[in-house]
Structure 1
């Protein structure tokens, strides 16, 4: 069985011994492909170090997280963009809009989002969207920048059925993580009407740990619990869920 974690910050673990243990647990659980979203300038080196340690298993992205879009965002974007020439990346991300923490930065968040979508267009890469309490604002940008090769993932998708269908219609897969295991989330009800061909799996570790680890630090090995919940929803074998969602990830990232 081969599982793909399409969104993990596993690189946040700085203790190399602990990181090695986490990675071994990944392999033991069949999680052998980890895609690492960039959030700021500092995380570039962290991601690169992880890719160097696990070149067959870890795949880098480049992008500026919306919560890290500050007054100096133009210079930060330039630094992140300049790093791409020296690295192999598989997506632009994670990028988007987050209005949970700060609504006053909406304009510059959307501007940074648009600029990075343009990177994806120029480089013919998918992009990975962070959207928190901002579906309308994200869709506004996507409609404005829409093009034929637009594609990617709505990371940590927690929207309703209409939002899911709209995301899919724009060329995006839904990133399903630990939230699907939470009883009151209602995400299982949305997935009942979404074909498996439109979803990928993720952990967003160390955040949003699935049941039975909810409230504790998350890690990519826990993707197995997300996959099992998805298997229960679709009434399919765990192996089929792994096969289809990994194939979906290959279609997105090209690897």
Structure 2
């Protein structure tokens, strides 16, 4: 399995990161993909990748929650990193209107700028949306010229939204939300086109049932996989095979 979205460089893992990586490997996790969020996360992320080079791969991008009035300078610094290091994706990027709409215009500008980096660099994008799926799809549709590919990470939307995302050539990242009783995903997952589905945790956030509310970790990817298998009446290996193939193809692993 591949955990396509994990923040194991975060301070929540500082006391037991080695054990977390060992548990991931023991569960059958082949790769842990690390999305960047801001300028401060770059150093710990790259240090984590350097410590576990056999399993960790880094991305580079600016998360919408860290966009502010200084966005253009921040983006310049983020972009400069693509000359210094090999990243597997531009991410995580997107639009988040849940916490604060103050920098909505700047968020949109940062999103479009980073989509254009992805075209230029031939990399996939990892998209974060919260209370913004319509706006994000509209911006993406405008920029999609056949070159863009990527994933809407932490997908928890409707079947109509899933189809709109797939129609634009984008994958769906399924994580802990898929296991929540009140998420409605029990109705959506059986209808999804599995050729567009990849697995993720978004750890340390959004731990799947039965760990909901606690710290998430890459080993829990298995619980997401089992939930998909149960809802689709498939065996575990079938889900592992298709989602791993999808992730390897998308991120060129």
Say yes or no: TM over 0.5: yes
Q: Answer whether contact 2:197 2:243 (CA < 8 A) is retained.
A: yes
Tell me how far 1:128 sits from its aligned partner: 0.5
Matching residue within 144, 147, 156 for 1:146: 144
Task: Select between 229-238 and 163-172 the one with higher mean Cα deviation.
Answer: 229-238
State yes or no: 1:229 paired with 2:242: no
Q: TM-score, normalised by structure 1?
A: 0.97
CA contact (8 A) 1:13 1:19 kept: no
* Unpaired segments ≥5 residues, structure 1: none
Q: Indicate which of 68, 72, 81 corresponds to 1:70.
A: 68
Report matched runs for 1:65-144 at 5 Å.
Answer: 65-144=63-142
CA-atom RMSD in angstroms: 1.1
CA distance in 1, matches of 2:188, 2:177: 12
Q: Which residue in the other structure is 1:173 paired with?
A: 171
- Residue ranges of structure 2 left out of the alignment (5+ in a row): none
Deviation at 1:103, TM superposition (A): 1.4
Q: Distance in 2 between matches of 1:192 and 1:149?
A: 29
Give the Å deviation of 1:43: 1.0
**2: distance between equivalents of 1:97 and 1:159?**
15
What is the rounded CA distance, in whole Å, between the counterparts of 1:9 and 1:174 in structure 2?
A: 18
- TM-score in terms of structure 2 length: 0.97
1:89 partner SS: coil
Task: Trace 1:177-196 onto structure 2 (pairs within 5 A).
Answer: 177-196=175-194
User: 2:3 aligned with 1:5, yes or no?
Assistant: yes
Aligned length: 253
Aligned residue in 1 for 2:55: 57
Deviation at residue 147 of structure 1 after TM alignment: 1.2
1:119-161 residue CA offsets vs partner (Å, 9 max, x unmatched): 0000011000000010111012101111112110000011111
Alignment equivalent of 1:200, drawn from 187, 198, 201: 198
Contact 1:7 1:204 in 2 (8 A): yes
1:26-82 deviations in whole A, cap 9, x for unaligned?
A: 011111211100000111111111111111211110000000001101111110110
Aligned match of 1:210 in 191, 208, 212? 208
Partner of 2:22: 24
Distance 1:183 1:17 in 2: 31
